Amino acid sequence: MGTKKENEVHSQGYMMKQGETFVKKWFNDTISLFETEIKSDDSVNHLCVTSLTVSVKYCEAILILLSRDCRMPAKALLRVLFELASKLAWCLRVPDEEMDAAGEIVEKKIRQWAKSSVVKNLKLLNGLKECITDDKASKLDNRIEKFETIKNSLDCDKMPTFLNVLKELPGTWGTELYTRCYLQFNNAVHLDVSSLGDRVKKDGEKLFVVYDSEDNIQDLVQYCVIFEKMVLYLVRTHYGWDTKKMQNDFEGLVW
């Protein structure tokens, strides 16, 4: 019988391994269905397949970081994964009363997301142009012109702010999930005086530095698996593929 610390490390390792195993199983099954059944080339299919393939790599990276006790970097990637799952849910969600126009609605939301991305890129490029010399700035003009053309071709509004995206989603997305899965990871994404200052602790008259986040690793592993399951569930539901087996696997996981 090991020490409490040894048992904790063993438990964390087991959780990571089972999470990795089942995520890989769910992903392989889903991507196999995609390759077999989806033949058309359109923006919805592009969004779904890229969300699947990119998110699973983030999930893998998060579990690797946690296995090395790198909690802050893992939290930063967790927030990216949560944002992807949330925006994908927003794009694919269609109210029951509007199902007859589901294809058009989803396409429009994807265009809104694209417009937001283009506007953001334009802001970054124009800001960068102001910071460099004229001869180098001129090289950005072609990229800026390209993004301006794309922006003008998108006859839609931008995607709502992220908080408003969450508010439009059902259940606890805009309340509990926003607090637990977004704000909780904020200090890992934005390293500023406040988040860095939180690393300094005091024991009596002695100051010491905590190198990493004090979040529970098991909780972070659970978040990782849940967020990736969200992406997989959203894609499978969109195409009408079975989700019961995945849900049964998930409910059988030992946390």
Residue finishing a domain among 143, 168, 193: 168
pTM of the predicted model as reported, rounded to 2 decimal places:
0.89
- Residue 124 CA to chain centroid, in angstroms? 22
CA dist., res. 233 & res. 247, Å (int)? 9
pLDDT, residue 84, reads 96
Tell me the residue range of the domain where 177 lies: 8-93+172-255
Could you tell me if residue 98 is inside a domain?
no
Could you tell me if residue 187 is inside a domain?
yes
Q: What residues in the chain have per-residue pLDDT under 50?
A: 1, 6
- How many structural domains is the chain composed of? 2
Q: What is the DSSP string of 108-176?
A: HHHHHHHHHHHHHHHHHHHHHHHHS-HHHHGGGHHHHHHHHHHHHH--SPPPPPHHHHHHHSSTTIIII
**Of all residues in the chain, what percent carry a pLDDT higher than 90?**
60
Nearest to 65 by CA among 53, 81, 77: 77
Could you tell me if residue 240 is inside a domain?
yes
Could you tell me if residue 1 is inside a domain?
no
Do 52 and 75 lie in a common domain?
yes
Token representation of residue 13: 């390792």
